[in-house]
Each structure stands twice: as C-alpha cells, then as structure tokens.
Structure 1
Amino acid sequence: MARIADLVAYPLKSNDGAVVDRAEIGPKGALRGDRTYALVEAGVDPHAASVGGNGGYVNGKSEPAVHALRAEYDRSGPTDATPTAVTLSRPARPETGADADERTFALPADGDALEAWVGEYLGYAVDLVREPDGGLPDDRAAPGPTVVSRATLETVASWFDEVADATEMRRRLRPNVVLDDCPAFWEDRLFADHGEAVRLSVGRTALLGVNPCQRCVVPSRHPDTGAEIDDFRETFIRKRRETLPDWLDSDRFDHEFRLMVNTAVPESEWGASLSVGDRVTVEETVDIAESGRHGATATGGDR
C-alpha cells in the first residue's frame, strides 16, 4: 500500500515550493495556498491566458530567467500555504542591468513593489495576480494535487547524467504529492479512459485520478540555473516507452511525454486534508460525470 512521503505546495506559481507535513484541500480541490499567486506579463488576464509558453504567464515555459529566482515563504498556517510574505532573491543579470538582490515582500500589500523588482530583473513589466479560491494551476479541469511516486522520480533521474537525484527531479517535475512504498510508475494506475476517473482514498480523503500530466520544456531545465539538457524530450520518450507498464491501457495516454497524474477532488472533500504518512488505496474506476463536481477535460502541463 502506497503512502504519502512528501507534500509540496507552490505558493508563487513557477517558483520554489514549500514542503509541508499536512495540507488542507481548498476550494476547487487544490491544496490551500497552492499557486495562489502568479506572475503574468503586464495587462494579461490570468484566467484567459494560455498556460503554455508565450501565453502571458511568466513561467519556465516562456521565461528561462525565472529559474534563477529563489523564493521562501511565510505561510498563513500549518495547513495553509497561502503566503503572507515572500523573500525573493535574484542573481545579477547584465542583459537587463539588474543587480543581485534579496527582498522580502508582504503579501498582498507589497505587490506593486514585487512587480517592479521582478520587472527590473526580467527587463519588462509584470503583474502579480492572486487567486485565493483554488489557485492558478495549469490544468484548470483537474486542479487537484498532482501525484507521482518517489521510485518514479529515482528512475527518471537515472535516465539523465545531468540530474543529481530524485529530489532534483521532483523540483523539475513539481508534483504536490510524492508517494513511497510503491514501485516506479505506480501512479499510472490512477487514471483510466476519457470520461472516467479512478477513485482513490488518501487517508480519509477521496481523490479522483483524471489524466497523466503532459510535460513541457520545464523538466529539461535545471531548477536553479535554467541550463537545458540536450535531447531531453527524445531521451525521455524513448525511456518511457521502454519502461511502460504492461498493464497500462488508457486512451488518455496518447504519447510518451506524460508523467505524473493530475487529480480532481469532489466538492464534498473540500476542507479535508492530506498528511505525510497517509495511506493511499486505489478503489474503483467511476464515471467522471457522476463522481462529484469538477471538470471533465484536462490540459496538463507543468503547473
């Protein structure tokens, strides 16, 4: 039986995560505080913008310089990762004339100052946007906690000489939930065909596995420097094909550049919590339209 080994929220989208021991599930099913804030190009509506590269979000897909920003958070509480302040540090960036610097910004009060500081570093104006109810995940139809096993992280890290270990691969893939006591690619059990979801129990909380997450350029880049691994996608696809579980049979798995599982959370479970050590049990495949209020289609991405 699998169990939760790590829980990670990402209070500022596309920036460093915050490791927690217990997390409440907020409105719409995301971990409370996960992707509450995001940076977008000035004037962009975050709800209308594409989450892919060049879609208006200032993320690793569109802006490699964000990898060099470091973030630490003051959080609202032990089960709520909503940041009350963020300390950001940046390296010098000669191309924009920005000096190396570190600042602490109260949130949301110092939002304008944070925008100016990040904009100076990037060389263009940005807005700090906030969505306290459900956050700003890439997968707007399945915005629940993303799930992967530690054995998967270890295996995928071994495919690339440039990746130090499972922890670095976790930082590249950016899951919310890392599982232990299960083999590599165990999480591929947590999705079925289009129109279906896999119900699982995590402690006393029910989640719905919806789809395997479609990856983008972000995992190919070092999480601190942005340095890119040559032929990452080609190697990943080849190795994923070689290690694909024999029992995997889902029309959602339409190509091999997918890893990690996006989930939805029935509305009845909002306000429940997940904790490190919770046991994870796969229950049954259900009709997604009858399994609680949530979206039925999913886009994927690196969130």
Structure 2
Amino acid sequence: MTPKLDRIILFPIKSLDGVEVESAMILPSGALKHDREFAIVDAGQKIVNAKRTAKIQQLRSTFNLDTQTISIGVQSAAPVTFDLTADQDAFAAWLSNYFGFAVHLSRNTTTGFPDDLDSPGPTIISTASLETVSQWYPGTNAAEMRRRFRSNLELSGVPAFWEDQLFGIAGVGKEFTIGDIKFHGINPCQRCIVPTRDSNTATPTQKFQKIFLQHRAASLPDSVNRDRFNHFYRLAVNTQIPASEAGKTLNLQEFCRVNE
C-alpha cells in the first residue's frame, strides 16, 4: 500500500463550502493557513455554524484565496461577491438578512476556529472510507460524504478506514509523516448532527446515525484499539502538528508514512 495525499480541502469560513488546493502552509499552531480562518458570530460572540442552524447548509459559496473574496448565494440563486476585508460590513448585512438575526465575521489567523481546540491540526480520512460510507446510504456517493464530513486531508491508495491506524492509545499521539511534515494522530473524530443532513438541502437522512453506528462497529479494522471508541459515531482522525513544522508546506501527491 502506498498512502498518498490526494486532496487538500480548506474551509476559509467555518461551516461554509470548502476550497480544494494543491498545497497548504502549516501555521505555528499546527493548523493549515486559511482553514476556518473566519467564523460567523452573533451579537453575543457565539459561533453560527451548521450545528446551530441547518440554514447554513443551504448556502453555496466559492472562494478566491488570492484575492480574499467570496461569492455566495442560497442554493441555485445568483451569487453575490464580497471582499472579505473591504466588504465585511456589507457581507455581515447580507448574512444577517439571511439568518434573520445580526451576525458579523470574526477572524483568527493563528489557530482558526477548529471544533477540537486541543487538536487544531487538519483532519484526515481516506477516499475509500468515504466511498464505503456512501454505500451505507443508497442514492449518495463519495462526493456527498466528502461534503458532509468536511475533512481537510484525503488519502488514496489504501483500503477503507486505513486512517484508523493513525491514532494509538489515549494521551499519546501516534507519529506519522506526510511528505516531510510530522503529524501526531490524536483520536477518531467525534461527529455531530451535520453529516446526518443532505449537504445541499439540509434535509435529514432518516436513521443516518443508527445506520452509521451499526456499520462502523462492524467494519472497524481488527488492528484498531476499540477502547478509543466510546461510541462508533466517529470518522476521520484529529491531529496535532508540532511547532517545529511551522512554515512548511504540505503538497498533493506526497506519501504518508507511519512511524512504527
């Protein structure tokens, strides 16, 4: 097997659509530059994300990372373009009108806004895992599961759930590399309500979590420590990247190697 980095996906604004890139720089925090760099927050500084409101999943957006602009619309409606620096007030007004309450953009160029504050590194999954999970839900495909589970890094050349070997015992990071960048695999990523909904319409998939739990438990590789699963609604791997790797660039087609 030759696990290879096949996709890098950044999510410049938390909970909005991702951007596929060919490379990504490592920040001192271990996060990827531009990933979850912005978040939509309300007047009380609470993050507005897809866990909080399914309406956010009905927004379609594209980003230009070079110009720091976003084009955004509701599903198939004609998009509107905003500069994320010069047009923040106008963008906030557009979003506030859509959500029905006041929001604005918050920015964090150090760590971004990760779900797991203890493991702000990129989440990792294999293409085969997405393909296998899609088979549990007739009418879906790997692309749909990619949008639902929103992992940053995707590995090809390995079987489904190969990434489960990238974490070990609790409290000890499993060491591996992608290219020349060192990673510590921390734990299997606990999932929320977001993957249970259609990524375009936000319509719930009936019995999504029940079906997932049954299949995930049955398909867990024998080599994986089942004690790391207090439940089986977990997919992909949370990571940390040591500060020594800051400033390095992660590139597509680089190989993943596990330190035994």
- In the TM superposition, 1:95-174 aligns within 5 A as 102-163=79-140, 165-174=141-150
Taking structure 2 as the reference length, the TM-score comes to 0.96
Aligned-residue offset at 1:112? 1.3
1:213 aligns to what SS in structure 2? strand
Asked if the contact 2:60–2:75 (Cα under 8 Å) also holds between the matched residues in 1, the reply is no
Aligned-residue offset at 1:27? 2.7
Aligned counterpart, 1:35: 36
2:69 aligns to what SS in structure 1? strand
1:154 aligns to what SS in structure 2? helix
Q: Deviations over 1:17-76 (max 9, x none)?
A: 0000111112311111000001122231xxxxxxxxxxx321111110111111111113
Find 2:59's aligned residue among 66, 69, 77. 69
Q: In structure 1, what is the Cα distance between the partners aligned to 2:161 and 2:109?
A: 33
Aligned-residue offset at 1:158? 0.4
Aligned counterpart, 2:153: 177
Q: In structure 1, what is the Cα distance between the partners aligned to 2:23 and 2:157?
A: 19
Asked if the contact 1:69–1:91 (Cα under 8 Å) also holds between the matched residues in 2, the reply is yes
1:227 aligns to what SS in structure 2? coil
Counterpart amino acid of residue 129 in structure 1: S
Q: Deviations over 1:207-249 (max 9, x none)?
A: 1101110001111111111011011010000000111111111
Taking structure 1 as the reference length, the TM-score comes to 0.83
Say whether residues 1:263 and 2:247 are aligned partners.
no
Say whether residues 1:211 and 2:187 are aligned partners.
yes
What RMSD over aligned residues (CA atoms) do the two structures have, in Å?
1.4
Asked if the contact 1:193–1:250 (Cα under 8 Å) also holds between the matched residues in 2, the reply is no
Aligned-residue offset at 1:122? 1.1
Aligned counterpart, 1:226: 202
> Stretches of 4+ moved more than 6 A in 1?
none
Asked if the contact 2:75–2:200 (Cα under 8 Å) also holds between the matched residues in 1, the reply is no
Aligned counterpart, 1:57: 47
Q: In structure 2, what is the Cα distance between the partners aligned to 1:112 and 1:162?
A: 40
Aligned-residue offset at 1:101? 5.2
Asked if the contact 1:162–1:229 (Cα under 8 Å) also holds between the matched residues in 2, the reply is no
Runs of 5+ consecutive residues of structure 1 not aligned to the other structure: 45-55, 77-82, 93-99, 285-303
- In the TM superposition, 1:244-283 aligns within 5 A as 244-249=220-225, 251-283=227-259
Aligned-residue offset at 1:265? 0.4
Aligned counterpart, 2:14: 13
Aligned length: 259
Aligned counterpart, 2:178: 202
1:196 aligns to what SS in structure 2? coil
Aligned-residue offset at 1:251? 3.3
Asked if the contact 1:43–1:127 (Cα under 8 Å) also holds between the matched residues in 2, the reply is no
